[in-house]
């Protein structure tokens, strides 16, 4: 008999406002969920497991298996799982974390598990580890809890603090510097290699990134963004020193700075080709939009601080 079931769960993409890479080394990160979502739809079928995805299908398969194991459950009959996404892939926008979280969430609904976001997040983190090797857990946490998060890795656990933003934020624009050829795992490994070879120098960069993140978070907490452009520029310089920004992204960012704006990559980055999306800030957002149009760069208008994982049917 076919199980009477039809579930739809979604999770958002993200940007890292400050703290990518240094967060892997226990420094804080400031993140925001963005209004681009990934959807996992589950339907009971007679038999077999069919997964339909644009995303890397093996990750979807793995996420499915891992959740089933974590919950110690068996499927009655079969399942058709369809994944559709609005989150650009390999752009530092957390598409794989959104997949992990939404898959876990959808299976929680299917197995009628209590909607425990901490547990969903922990299982999603195990899935992320397969994809990225040594992730901090910040990507799955923002996809799970949404909003704005202050995140810090503490060994195998996380310190997560939601930031209450009940005021109008400055307008940010995301520009696409292109798909990163490297995976997040490869970029994290690259930094780790640098850390092993140039310990003191890399340690200094990571410490400075930690301080920039604290100051940036303070702008958001106090609703005072006077220092934000300076902090974004400093942040970008440190990421360049760390060696995670490609030439193409670097050039775009220098041009934005010349126009009086500030910009930084906002994810793992990439050096062989694109470095993913660039977070841009200018007192007049129109300057960035005009620049993007003139340079024929794709830009994403985004809303920050949206809801985390959610059941689309409830
Ligand atoms: C990737 O979105 C962010 C990194 O800091 C890796 C991680 O935190 O797992 C580069």
Q: Is the C-beta atom of 265 inside 6 A of ligand 1?
A: no
Q: How far is CA 226 from the centre of its chain?
A: 26
Mean pLDDT in the chain? 95
Residues 80, 3: Cα–Cα separation, whole Å? 11
Q: Is the C-beta atom of 93 inside 6 A of ligand 1?
A: no
Atom of ligand 1 nearest to the CA of 187: 10
Contact between 177 and 298 under an 8 Å Cβ cutoff? The reply is no
Q: Is the C-beta atom of 21 inside 6 A of ligand 1?
A: yes
- Phi and psi torsions of 241, nearest 5°: -60, -35
Question: Which of the two residues, 168 and 246, has the higher pLDDT score?
Answer: 246
Query: What's residue 5's pLDDT?
Result: 66
pLDDT-derived band at 99, boundaries 50, 70, 90: very high
Question: Which of the two residues, 44 and 211, has the higher pLDDT score?
Answer: 211
Whether 2 has a pLDDT exceeding 80, the answer reads no
Q: Torsion over CA of 262, 267, 272 and 278, rounded to 10 degrees?
A: -30
* CB neighbour list of residue 70: distance below 8 Å, 6 or more residues apart: 123, 126
The closest of 280, 204, 300, 293 to 236, measured between CA atoms, is: 280
Whether 314 has a pLDDT exceeding 90, the answer reads no
From ligand 1's centre to the CA of 257, what distance in Å? 25
Nearest CA to ligand 1 atom 8: 136
pLDDT by residue (tens digit) across 157-208? 999 999 999 999 999 999 999 999 999 999 999 999 999 999 999 999 999 9
From ligand 1's centre to the CA of 227, what distance in Å? 24
Share of residues in the chain with pLDDT > 90 (%) = 89
Q: Is the C-beta atom of 20 inside 6 A of ligand 1?
A: yes
pLDDT by residue (tens digit) across 198-239? 999 999 999 999 999 999 999 999 999 999 999 999 999 999
Query: What's residue 130's pLDDT?
Result: 84
Which pair of structure tokens corresponds to residue 70? 């974590």
pLDDT by residue (tens digit) across 102-123? 999 999 999 999 999 999 999 9
Query: What's residue 150's pLDDT?
Result: 98
Q: Is the C-beta atom of 132 inside 6 A of ligand 1?
A: yes
Query: What's residue 4's pLDDT?
Result: 54
Atom of ligand 1 nearest to the CA of 94: 2
pLDDT by residue (tens digit) across 251-286? 999 999 999 999 999 999 999 999 999 999 999 999
Atom of ligand 1 nearest to the CA of 153: 8
From ligand 1's centre to the CA of 21, what distance in Å? 5
Which pair of structure tokens corresponds to residue 42? 């589950």
pLDDT by residue (tens digit) across 45-83? 999 999 998 767 788 999 999 999 999 998 988 999 999
Q: Torsion over CA of 24, 173, 89 and 314, rounded to 10 degrees?
A: 90
């Amino acid at each position: 008999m076919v199980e009477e079931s039809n579930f739809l769960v979604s999770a958002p993409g993200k940007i890292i406002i400050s703290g990518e890479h240094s967060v892997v080394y226990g420094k804080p990160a400031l993140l925001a969920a963005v209004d681009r979502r990934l959807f996992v739809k589950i339907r009971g079928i007679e038999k077999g497991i069919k997964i339909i995805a644009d995303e890397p299908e093996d990750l979807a398969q793995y996420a499915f298996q891992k959740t089933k194991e974590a919950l110690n459950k068996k499927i009655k009959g079969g399942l058709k799982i369809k994944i559709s996404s609005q989150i650009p892939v390999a752009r530092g926008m957390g598409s794989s974390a959104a997949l992990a979280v939404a898959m876990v969430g959808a299976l929680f609904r299917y197995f009628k598990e209590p909607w425990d976001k901490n547990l969903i997040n922990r299982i999603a983190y195990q899935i992320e580890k397969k994809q990225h090797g040594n992730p901090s857990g910040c990507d799955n946490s923002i996809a799970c809890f949404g909003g704005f998060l202050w995140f810090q890795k503490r060994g195998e656990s996380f310190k997560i603090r939601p930031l209450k933003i009940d005021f109008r934020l400055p307008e940010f624009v995301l520009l696409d510097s292109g798909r990163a050829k490297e995976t997040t795992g490869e970029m994290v490994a690259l930094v780790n290699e640098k850390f092993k070879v140039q310990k003191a120098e890399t340690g200094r960069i990571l410490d400075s990134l930690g301080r920039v993140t604290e100051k940036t978070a303070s702008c958001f907490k106090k609703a005072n963004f006077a220092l934000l452009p300076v902090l974004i520029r400093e942040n970008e310089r440190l990421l360049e020193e760390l060696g995670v920004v490609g030439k193409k992204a670097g050039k775009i960012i220098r041009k934005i700075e010349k126009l009086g704006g500030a910009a930084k990559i906002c994810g793992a980055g990439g050096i062989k080709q694109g470095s993913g999306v660039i977070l841009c800030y200018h007192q007049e957002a129109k300057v960035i939009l005009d620049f993007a149009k003139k340079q024929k760069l794709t830009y994403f208008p985004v809303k920050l601080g949206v809801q985390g994982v959610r059941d689309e049917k409830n």
